[in-house]
Amino acid sequence: MGHQPAGCRKHLLFHAAAGGQPARSPTMTGAGHAVYPPAAAPSLHDLLRAGTTPEHRDLECALNLLRAGFRLEDYRRLLVHYHGFYLPFERFLQDSAGRQSTVARFYCGGRRKLSWLEQDLRALGVAVAPYAAYMAEQRFPALFPSEEHILGAIYVIEGSMLGGAVLSKHFRKHLQIEAETGLRFFSGYGPESREKWLETLQFLESRDPGGPLRIHALDGARRMFVLLRQHLVDAPA
């Protein structure tokens, strides 16, 4: 992915909790030989995490939010870009939920984040740009045309809440802000972060399509990382 900026050492913003298959225990034969059972297929979580590592690393290093010199002005601009993404994305999910999307309904049932961004922008005195300046809402149905694609996208968004909670501590210290004064979005679910993530993983596995359809979930997660990069990093300041 090219040169990584100084300070890009850890995956924080889009952290996905570790998991993985347990170690396989061998069965010993009468002759003393160890026979291992066949390897189980990876969980959908493991597949998505491993399959999006390059996109994950690329986005985090491009953002480089722990860099020296990241100022409150840069933070305001970041929130504006996030708002420009979440507004059409959550409208898309709301519309999808209305069309009986189980995955979109899962997200819309207590996981929306647009109001957090609006609260932060008001606290920081930032006027939200007209909707015409935002990413065209029509892009989302084409990028995420199936339940599996939406599932992959939500995996990325919900995983980011864990990393956001870590970054909130950094911003609180270096930017001198609190949840009430501009840090609501990065505070995420607060004390409920772990519980919310475990619920996401449980839902993810319950909706695992299995077989070749899994590639659509992976494709959706990869598209989400690329889309976020386009909007948060490559968009005009």
Higher pLDDT, 186 or 20: 186
Once rounded to an integer, what is the mean pLDDT over residues 232-237?
Answer: 80
Q: From the CA atom positions of the chain, what is the Rg in Å?
A: 20
| 7: pLDDT strictly greater than 90 | no
**Amino acid identity for residue 172 in this structure:** R
Q: What is the pLDDT of residues 22-49, one digit of tens each?
A: 444 445 565 555 554 455 679 999 999 9
The CATH architecture that domain 41-232 belongs to is Up-down Bundle (1.20)
pLDDT band at 149 (very low <50, low <70, confident <90, very high): very high
Once rounded to an integer, what is the mean pLDDT over residues 175-187?
Answer: 97
- Crossing angle for the helix pair 44-51 and 147-175, to the nearest 10 degrees: 60
Closest residue by Cα to residue 181 from 169, 172, 173, 170: 172
| 159: pLDDT strictly greater than 80 | yes
pLDDT at 22: 45
pLDDT band at 85 (very low <50, low <70, confident <90, very high): very high
Q: What is the pTM of this model?
A: 0.84
CA distances from 160 to 55, 89, 166, 208 (A): 13, 15, 10, 20
| 107: pLDDT strictly greater than 60 | yes
